[in-house]
A and B are shown apart, each in its own frame.
Chain A
């Protein structure tokens, strides 16, 4: 691990009167798995949206590999290698899984000519098939993606993100809606994506068992503010975190 890939400094974001993020600062270490937890409505998704350029932030700075990105547009940030998945899973629902994968290749150094490039390059197809097999969807590869179950769509979305070969992947509740018996398999895949493909992960998760198992550092948000940051053990035993979770009910 070396330095921070993403540096969030003093970021604030309000929607009308609702302060969704207030002076949040978080570091995402290169090569690691960083967790983000917090009660419902604590501003986790809002922070992700701010990082990927989905909306302008009110205050603060967001740097990716030392470069200020808080004013860039969504596709520009994605092309830098900073990718996110959605809490409400998003895939291309009328295309088959293979096509979903093929169009998810990285668009980093794409010239105008490549718009009409061939889609039948063996290497790309092989990689797509490999990833579909990795998430257990190989058999479904010619099925229309919209016909997959919700959990399978989540897996497809994850495979699409890997297809893009990002530097860092922001995952918004990857295990939500996944059958508990499959969660262990998913944790294993996330770890392998991190280790084998060298992708830095930044993960929002409500399932404590999952995040404690997965992350090497965790930050906790409550009411839009950063409450605590530390190792899983430190965060789990932090009285403020415990209170935020219990007090939220």
Chain B
């Protein structure tokens, strides 16, 4: 099977699972929604962290920024935001169905755009840092953004914002958010996979392998690096907007900027599945989510220990991850061509 066909059938499996599971087992809808969110996080993280080698620990900032941007837009089109947040939820705004949907779609779009612009502004500075300095710098960034939002009363500070209530039954609401996260996750993967096939893919791989060499060869490294952070920011911003609405209530620490959970999970998932591979982050997210849910049910209290153990074993003994390992073993399955022709014309030329 060619790599192309394999990719197509994997998309087929994902889409089928995405449609069938909530239909056949509606009880799993919200868990599946979180799964798609985790897939999106791992896949987008991998563009900067895996393919370009810049291990960001702060991508969760884009998520929270997108969430807050959408909240401000959704409330702002109907009501004064400062007044709304100052009342700590005492004000119940009645959104018409049309206002709700307009706000939601605008909010998601805005969430993506604001997070992207943020990456564009902060990127040139942050991406000047290399290796562990970048990792720590981005972690600091996420913590600082969360801190700033906590102290900003316009968006409700630490007490957060109640999001507009979904017009209709709660169950159909959770289906809507499920579909949105599902579509976003698949879309992110399709777009990112397509981008890797262009010059962009080669350029960020070159930066990963030897950035000094890439500069010495005249590659516009800053341009590529910032873009490779803006793409994840865009999808993370939109996902944050959806997740905020799904939660119904947003606040800085647990919902918008969960640095110690989702912020770390996305890295762990990409590493587990195989960073720098097209499907590794997807596989990693699925496995990680399953382990997380199973340990939650059967090993309550030991869940964090189990997850921590996975991360440690992964990093200490198994750095290339599952698909990284498989790619080394069966290169041709991953589109790695083997061709032993000795000359361009194909004549088996005797050694000189």
Contacts and interface: CB of A to CB of B under 8 A. Distances in A.
A126 to B, nearest CB: 8
A49 to B, nearest CB: 10
A24 interface: no
B216 A52 contact: yes
A164 B217 contact: yes
Interface residues of A, number: 41
Given A119-B199, A139-B342, A142-B339, A106 B218 contact: yes
Given A95-B205, A95-B209, A112-B223, A74 B216 contact: yes
A93 B199 contact: no
B200 A116 contact: yes
Interface in A87-142: 90-96, 99, 102-104, 106-108, 110, 112, 114-119, 129-130, 133, 138-139, 141-142
Contacts of B205: 92, 94-95, 99, 103
Interface string B1-33: 000000000000000000000000000000000
Contacts of A47: none
Interface stretch (A61-69, A78-86, A226-234): A78-86
Interface string B202-229: 1101101110111111111101100100
Nearest to A95: B205
A119 B198 contact: yes
B337 A142 contact: yes
Main secondary structure of the interface of B (DSSP, over half): helix
B349 to A, nearest CB: 9
Contacts of A241: none
Nearest to A160: B217
Nearest to A146: B209
A79 B209 CA distance: 20
A90 B224 CA distance: 20
B78 interface: no
A243 B265 CA distance: 64
Nearest to A136: B352
Contacts of B199: 103, 114-119
Interface string B290-332: 0000000000000000000000000000000000000000000
Of A73, A83, A112, A138, chain B has the most CB atoms within 10 Å of the CB of A138
Nearest to A115: B200
A118 B198 CA distance: 5
Contacts of B218: 75, 78-79, 83, 106-108, 164
Interface in B217-259: 217-221, 223-224, 227
Contact of B213 (A86, A108, A110, A139): A86
23 contacts: A73-B215, A75-B219, A78-B217, A78-B218, A91-B210, A94-B209, A102-B202, A103-B199, A103-B202, A107-B219, A114-B199, A115-B199, A115-B224, A116-B195, A116-B199, A119-B199, A130-B344, A138-B341, A139-B340, A139-B341, A139-B342, A160-B217, A164-B217
Interface of B: 195, 197-203, 205-206, 208-210, 212-221, 223-224, 227, 336-344
Interface of A: 52, 54, 73-75, 78-79, 83-84, 86, 90-96, 99, 102-104, 106-108, 110, 112, 114-119, 129-130, 133, 138-139, 141-142, 160, 164
Counting from the closest, the 6 A-B pairs by CB-CB distance are: A78-B218, A92-B209, A103-B202, A90-B213, A79-B218, A107-B218
